[in-house]
Structure 1
Amino acid sequence: MNLVTQGSSGRHVSVLPTVLVIGALAIVQRVLSAVANYQQQAFSYQVHHAAEERFLGRAVTIDIPYLDDPGFHERMIRASKTSMTRPFAVTGEVVTFCAQLVAVVGLVGVMSAVHPALLVVIAGSVAVTAVAQARVSKNVYATDLQNSRSFREMYYRRHLMTNEAAIKELQGLGAAHHMRRQHTDLQRWYEASLAAVYRKGQGEALVAGAISALLLTVAYWFVARQGLAGTLTAGDLFLVLGAFTSVGAIVSGLSGSLVALQGHAPYLRDYFDFLDLRQRLPVRPDPIPLPATVARTDEATQPSPAQPGLTLKNVTFTYPTATRPALRGIDLEIAPGEMVALVGDNGAGKTTLVKLLLRHYDPQDGQVLVGGVDLRDADPTELQSRFGVLFQDFVHYNLTVRENLQLGRVERKASDSDLWTALHAARADFVQDLTMGLDATVGKGYEWCQDISGGQWQRLSLARLMYRNADVWILDEPTSALDPEAEVEVFTQLRENLSGRIGIIISHRFSTVRIADRILVMQDGQITEAGTHEELLDLGGRYAHLFDLQAAGYR
């Protein structure tokens, strides 16, 4: 084969250097392909795990007010989906793109040696297809965004159909299959929306394909004319046509990778927007230290005598999406060693008051102070360490008993004796009867778990609160799953273990709240009555009315 051609001007064009470059690049490509096939998988998993770690790192530090925003949950689900799938796919596309880019460089040299216009024709044919693919990717994302609510509803129904408590209730109601049909309908609606996008994309792809084929035909015609005119020998023609075909295929691959990356871009934007969510609660750069607190050592089981008290001064708070205040002009002081109970109708403001104490929100007016320090001036991490909270909807952790308790304060190095002390204080002695005791895994999450009752779960969560050894205990319906006798035992123990701490109880059971030093009655965002159980009965107000209603059920 003649590797030196003579153009119409008599100029000799050698393609030997190009052939050598092509050969060298082919070797490089083969080697890279062999290595990349394995390294790409390992690297993709590393990128995926790094993205997942960043997502989870932001999720666990999110400001609590975000959780009350319905729109936030859709953003979180979109970011979660992206972190689980897109980084892996993007990494693969980038690696593929780089490998194809290396291969195409030498082949482009062959094309330009024949005529630079061929590169323009090839680029044009690829661009037409790329534009059509990019439009489809853009429309797919727009459809995903438009149907994010439907997807969230579908995801929620799926969660219900795989949740133990929900399955029992749905089957008991005879609504399990109804829930499945709703999930199926939402899924089909979502699939139909995407199908419509792809049908439209197919029409555009047909037009783009026709234009691309026409441009390629023009390029082949041009090369054939060069051969007929004698500018290229038969061997040269074969070489150029082969390079032409390879370039077209590889450049199409490059285009496909670029389009795929473009398709991933808006989803990745959701992910990075989630990571960049602004802090809703400002943090002071030079926080004021809180007063001295419990000495938290492995041996510490009791707080020091002097503990910081809680103060609310003329506190008014309105939720961002509400039109009327949830709290209005609250003035309250709780001294160290005092147990206070909050009672009132649903929506009276009890939980909102607790949220302000935990600094889930800042009041629009007034101050919330711990030991005289405004919560807005304190270090959030230090503030969080001072509180121990037991919510009514506490989580059942399918972990060992030891791990369940240690979640109360993970930085504390405690002995088995400390753990058993917390369990005894919560009347959770049932742990002694579990196989492996502290190292028994409780729940139903694994086949090796040991199931425990609802009351035992509640005792275990109380033990976790005891183990936390915080300055302030906040308990929301802490004994709702216990029988009356067990309730009396637990609260007697709680009262004995208070020892200088502040205890705040939210409860609708008056057998629970009467043990408190002070009972606060809340109504319409205000504290309307305050006193001991006997004082409030003598007052004959709202508390006495509610107590009589509840007591009537036992007569």
Structure 2
Amino acid sequence: MTSPHNRNTAADAETHGHDEKVSLPAARTGAPQPSAPPELDYQGRKHRRAMDNATLWDMARKIPAALIQTGRLAWTVDRRMTLTIVVCQLLSGIGTAVMLSAVAKALPQLMVDDPREGLTHAWPALTVAVVAMATGAAMWILADWATRRLNPKIASAADLQLVDLHMRAELAAYDAPGFGDRSQAAGIGAQRAVDIADDAKTLTNGLVQLASAAAVLTSLHPVLLGVLLLSVVPRGLGGVIAARVDYRVHDQTVSARNVRGMMRWWLCTAELADELRANTMRRYLHFWYQSMSEQVSSREVAGARPYLWITLLAASLGGLFTLGMWASLAGLVLAGAMTTALAGTAVVASQTAGRALNSIIRYSTVMFHHGLYLSDYYDFITEVRTMTAARGTAQATPPRQIRLEGASYTYPSKDSAAVRPITLTLNRGEVVALVGENGAGKSTLIRMLTGLTVPTDGTVLWDDTDLAAADAETVWRHVGLVPQKNGHWPLAARENITLGQPREHGDERIWDAAERVGMTKALRELPQQLETLLARSVWGGHELSGGQWQRLACARAMYRQPAVLVLDEPTSEMDARGEHQIFRELRAMAPDRITVVVTHRLDNVRMADRVIVLDQGAIREQGSFDELVATEGSLLGELYALAQDR
């Protein structure tokens, strides 16, 4: 819906003449203002309103689990640094306990009539206190150093595992409902892994410091620990409630911030710069971006007031209880239950314990928040591991024949099949053209032929090997695929052709593939030829045209010299000369492989040995181009006639 805040902004600017303060294009020009983007508040997140709905007990149970998960991740990444952090935390706590005990021993000796005599007796304890305090500080610094060394490794390990599983997952996983949302949540969890490692260090340090200070306070007088807890609890509860306010703002704006972030990339990238300008989209998109920013900022500003009142109330209550603690100490001294020296030690211990408790409550809340996202990460990792392409152990070899026996495929959450049961045989040396209207099932059939997906019913056989029972990597080793949407990889030109394939033949085979697709001249004209980075957005990088990228994708497939070569609209952006060259090479390479071509340019279909026409997921007709075009009622004939009338 349209935000009232956005409507009023433009209206006020025009009324008061403050146009220079408002960047809404419609406000400056007086043109009708477009509708503001709707308020986005995605309802499907797993942990929606998690902080609001969580009790303190829920948080208390979640935090140990988050600590354990973080510890396991850190342990698998770098055991030495993990042990360093743990040991340093313990030594820091011991240092605090020794320091407070030494202060408790030194203060009575200092509080005598003769300062020199008191110092003479107290200096050993004071020396121990100073050394213990310095040791504790040094341990904290060392733990921080170890954490800084560990964090980059944690970030890399979490991200690499996520990326690796995405690349190994069955393609059907991407079609599962909500997969993209869960993937995004897992990505956030991987990013939060570093934050939670820092939080875990600070939280555990607070726990150790609290235990040390509490032990000293209890030894001085048991009532002091109870009074201390009362002085800190209001601030702790205030911290939890304030964190809920922060999280509510985060939760309500996460969708808007995600969409705004995606839009920002599109507004600033060169890929859409032409379309944005030529279609005069700048004004609207700038207005859209600002409106979305205002939706986010208005919610953040609205959360500032309750945050202030909560913090003030918690601080006031904490102050009252702190006064109660000082009063308790004074009462103990006046009643003779505690000496003035011990009261001084209690003040130092209470301050240490108070800081530790504040740290514990603050970082417990933060860890609960981060822990939700970390659990998303681990849940997604577990889910995708069950979806990786681990089908069987049979070793696929270059096929002389591909047979589909009643093979069909239905996408997850779909009622009707994308490809209905098909029985079909493809032979080595044959060039087969797949033809059909949009949505006929051509891309899905290609996925089944190449083992990218296994049929939901029926079988696909390479010779006698059922692809559903074969090691997927051994299948793809013999496939060369030029997809309809090919990758413009930000790599050197050499790697854009080889993509990590062995280079036993040096550059000769690379240049041969380039020659086959007509890219030799373009590659030699690059500043560093094959070493040139093909990424214009990076300093020193260069860009290719759309047709050149398609030629490079064809060269990539030809370099592999595959047994099964599949090209999906391989020449849609090429000129006539390039298109002719590609299809001429396909014919020349045909005897050694099974070649499948998908194209809507029906003149190119003439070069195929056989044309298979798909219609609504089923084979409607097949045969030679001339036979099908001449057949009355042929779909190919109808499509070809329409193409000739353009």
In structure 1, what is the Cα distance between the partners aligned to 2:362 and 2:247?
17
User: Is the alpha carbon distance of 1:111 and 1:24 closer, same or farther for their aligned partners in structure 2, counting shifts above 3 Å?
Assistant: farther
Counterpart of 1:455 (choices 532, 536, 547) is 547
CA deviations 1:226-271 (Å, max 9, x no partner) are: 1222333333322322322232123212332222222211111122
Letter in 2 for 1:545: E
Following the alignment from structure 1 to structure 2, what is the Cα–Cα distance between the partners of residues 280 and 477? 33
Distance 1:222 1:394, change over 3 A: same
Does 2:162 align with 1:162? no
* One-letter amino acid of the counterpart of residue 447, structure 1: W
Partner letter of residue 157 of structure 2?
Answer: A
Contact 1:2 1:236 (8 Å CA) reproduced? yes
Which residue number in structure 2 is paired with residue 92 of structure 1?
198
C-alpha contact (below 8 Å) 2:565/2:596 kept by paired residues: yes
- In the alignment, what sits opposite 2:583? 491
CA 1:241–1:136: 2 relative to 1, 3 Å = closer
Structure-2 residue corresponding to 1:357 = 449
Q: Which residue of 2 aligns with 1:543?
A: 636
Answer yes or no: is the 8 Å Cα contact 2:613–2:636 preserved in 1. Answer: yes
* Shift, 1:138, TM fit: 5.4
Choose from 336, 339, 344 the match for 1:230: 336
1:75 to 168, 176, 182: 182
| Inter-partner Cα distance in structure 1 for 2:128 and 2:300 | 45
Alignment match of 2:367 (pick from 252, 261, 277): 261
Q: What is the alpha-carbon distance in structure 2 between the residues aligned to residue 309 and residue 115 of structure 1? A: 87
Asked if 1:418 is matched to 2:509, the reply is: yes
When residues 285 and 318 of structure 1 are mapped into structure 2, their CA distance, relative to the original with a 3 A threshold, is closer
The answer to whether 1:44 aligns with 2:151 is: yes
Task: Select between 461-470 and 246-255 the one with higher mean Cα deviation.
Answer: 246-255
Partner of 1:9: none
Distance apart, 1:91 and its partner CA: 2.1
Tell me the distance in 2 between the aligned counterparts of 1:109 and 1:24: 20
Q: Structure 1 residues 121 and 83 mapped into 2: Cα distance closer, same or farther (>3 Å)?
A: same
Secondary structure of the structure 2 residue equivalent to 1:451:
coil
Report if aligned partners of 1:316, 1:366 keep a CA contact under 8 Å in 2: yes
- Equivalent position SS for 2:432: strand
Q: How does 1:386-405 map to 2 (within 5 A)?
A: 386-405=478-497
Q: Report matched runs for 1:307-326 at 5 Å.
A: 307-326=399-418
Tell me if structure 1 keeps the 8 A contact 2:231–2:325.
no
Question: Deviations for 1:491-518, whole angstroms, at most 9, x for unmatched residues?
Answer: 1112111232111111100122211111
Give the C-alpha shift of residue 23 in structure 1: 4.8
Letter of the 1:389 counterpart? L
Preserved CA contact (<8 Å) 2:418 2:616: yes
Q: Which residue of 1 aligns with 2:472?
A: 380
Q: Which residue pairs with 1:333 in the alignment? A: 425
Distance 1:354 1:80 in 2: 30
Distance in 2, Cα, partners of 1:111 & 1:20: 21
What is the one-letter code of the residue matched to 2:319?
A: A
Give the Å deviation of 1:401.
1.5
Please list the CA deviations of residues 71-105 of structure 1 after superposition, one character each: whole Å capped at 9, or x if unmatched.
22222223223323x22222222233344444444
TM-score, structure 1 as length reference: 0.87
Is this contact kept in 1: 2:400–2:428, CA < 8 A?
yes
Q: How far did 1:414 drift?
A: 4.0
Of 465-474 and 205-214, more deviation after overlay is shown by: 205-214
Worse-superposed segment, 136-145 or 108-117: 136-145
Aligned partner of 2:519 in structure 1 is 428
CA distance in 2, matches of 1:385, 1:146: 47
Partner residue in 1 for 2:215? 109
Q: Which runs of 5+ in 2 are unaligned?
A: 1-106, 112-121
Aligned AA (1:537) = V
| Pair 376,250 (structure 1): closer, same or farther in 2 beyond 3 Å | same
Residues 288 and 377 of structure 1 are in contact (CA less than 8 Å); yes or no, is this contact kept in structure 2?
A: yes
Superposition deviation, residue 396 in structure 1: 1.4
- 8 Å contact from structure 2 (residues 175, 412) kept in 1: no
Q: Structure 1 residues 451, 360: closer, same or farther in 2, change over 3 A?
A: closer
Equivalent residue number for residue 91 of structure 2: none
- Could you tell me the TM-score, scaled by structure 2's length? 0.75
Identify if the C-alpha distance between structure 1 residues 68 and 17 changes in structure 2 by more than 3 Å, giving closer, same or farther: farther
Mean alpha-carbon deviation: is it higher for 243-252 or for 488-497? 243-252
Map 1:264-303 → 2, pairs under 5 A: 264-279=370-385, 286-290=392-396, 292-293=397-398
Change (3 A) 1:189 1:405: same
Deviations for 1:349-383, whole angstroms, at most 9, x for unmatched residues? 11121222344443332222222322211111112
Structure 1 residue 191 displacement after superposition: 4.1
| TM-superposition CA deviations, 1:172-194 (whole Å, max 9, x none) | 11113422332333333344445
Q: Secondary structure at the match of 1:238?
A: helix
2:285 corresponds in structure 1 to: 179
Using the alignment, how far apart are the partners of 2:319 and 2:184 within structure 1?
A: 42
- 2:390–2:472 Cα contact (<8 Å) kept: no
SS of 1:514's equivalent?
Answer: helix
Whole-angstrom distance in 1 between the partners of 2:290 and 2:177: 23
Deviation per residue, 1:144-200 (Å, 9 max, x gap): 556554344223312311332222211111113422332333333344445555654
Q: 1:26 aligns with which of 115, 133, 136?
A: 133
Counterpart residue number, 2:160: 53
Structure 1 residues 355 and 139, CA, compared in 2 at 3 Å: closer, same or farther?
A: farther
1:469 to 544, 548, 561: 561
Aligned to 1:65: 172
Cα 1:168/1:67, change in 2 over 3 Å: farther
**Which ranges of structure 1 fall in alignment gaps of 5 or more residues?**
6-14, 294-306
Distance 1:462 1:182 in 2: 40
| Residue-pair matches, total | 528
Share of identical aligned residues, percent? 26
Distance 1:414 1:152, change over 3 A: farther
Counterpart amino acid of residue 552 in structure 2: L
User: How far apart are the structure 2 equivalents of 1:412 and 1:70?
Assistant: 41
DSSP-derived class of the 1:60 partner = helix
Quote the Cα distance in structure 2 between the aligned partners of 1:176 and 1:140.
33
Name the structure 1 match of 2:611.
519
1:287, distance to aligned residue in structure 2 (A)? 2.0
Is 2:169–2:388's contact at 8 Å kept on the other side of the alignment? no
Structure 2 counterpart of 1:543, which letter? L
Q: Could you say what the CA RMSD is over the residues aligned between the two structures, in angstroms? A: 2.9
Counterpart residue number, 1:297:
none
Shift of 1:319: 1.8
